[in-house]
Amino acid sequence: MRARHERNLGVLTAEEQQTLGQKRVFIAGCGGLGGYSAEFMARVGVGGLVLCDADHFEESNLNRQLFCTEKTLGQSKAHAAAARLKEIDGELAITAHHTTIREDNAADLIRGCDLVIDALDSLETRLLLERACAGEGIPYLFGGVNRTVGMVTTVLPGDDSLRKLFSGSRTQSKPSVLCFAVAAVSCHQAMEAVEILLGRPKLRGKLLVIDLLRSVTEIVPLKL
């Protein structure tokens, strides 16, 4: 085991750490949630990451997006994230896609991954990605943030949870978001991601709701 992961032991076993090193995770969106999730996956020892984002960093991203700095303004989010992660772990296998996730490419993008982490801001894209995950037999980990409230749930192939949960909803244009709300939700996503990769998801059929303003965390049962 690499020395960089020694402090994971105790929470994880050596065998579990080795398992994580053999996993490949797709991160849909490299902005707020996706930036934190990508860094957490790299630091915990996941062996491969596939990053996908069609956007470039702009000044309004500086309040909450981990890989957005004054030096990376104007750069591709996916490629800037990949460069940052290589600074953390030069042996990490990274593929970066500067592209939009669409019906005609979603399955190809995620194929061969063990988990898809949703860090998107478009409900329509989330729903098509959920369908693609079902088709490829890949677990899908949803996370969303609005103001100081965040949500996380695990969708296993065939659950169709996101469509049931957000049926009739629409994407909100540029919601208010604080950086620590993004970080809090990403922490929960990252922990659940590890649990999924180790074969013991905790949030299937459950919606974790975090309200930082009220200092409340609750789990809402979902119908599968």
Q: pLDDT per residue over 39-50, tens digit each?
A: 999 999 999 999
Work out the mean pLDDT of the chain and round it to a whole number. 95
CB 60 within 8 A of CB 67: no
pLDDT in tens, 113-146: 999 999 998 999 999 999 999 999 999 999 999 9
Whether the predicted pLDDT of 173 surpasses 80: no
Q: Which of 88, 72, 91, 89 is nearest to 30 (CA)?
A: 72
Give, to the nearest 10 degrees, the angle between helix 32-44 and helix 77-88: 20
Contact call for residues 150 and 126 (beta carbons, < 8 A): no
pTM score over 0.75: yes
Task: Taking residues 10-16, report their average pLDDT.
Answer: 97
Strands 216-221 and 93-97: unpaired
Which amino acid belongs to residue 45?
G
Angle between helix 14-21 and helix 179-197 axes, rounded to 10 deg: 100
What integer is the mean pLDDT of 166-175?
A: 68
Over residues 90-106, the pLDDT tens digits come to: 999 999 999 999 999 99
CA–CA gap between residue 48 and residue 197 (Å, rounded): 12
**Total number of domains constituting the chain:** 1
CATH number for 131:
3.40.50.720
Other CB atoms within a 10 A radius of the CB of residue 147 amount to 13
Residue 172 above 70 pLDDT?
no
Task: Give residue 166's pLDDT.
Answer: 84
Residue 198 neighbours by CB under 8 Å, 6+ apart: 16, 19, 20
Selected residue with higher pLDDT from 93 and 173: 93
Buried (b) or exposed (e) across 2-27, using 16+ Cβ within 10 A?
eeebeebeeebeeebbebbbebbbbb
- Domain range spanning residue 27? 3-221
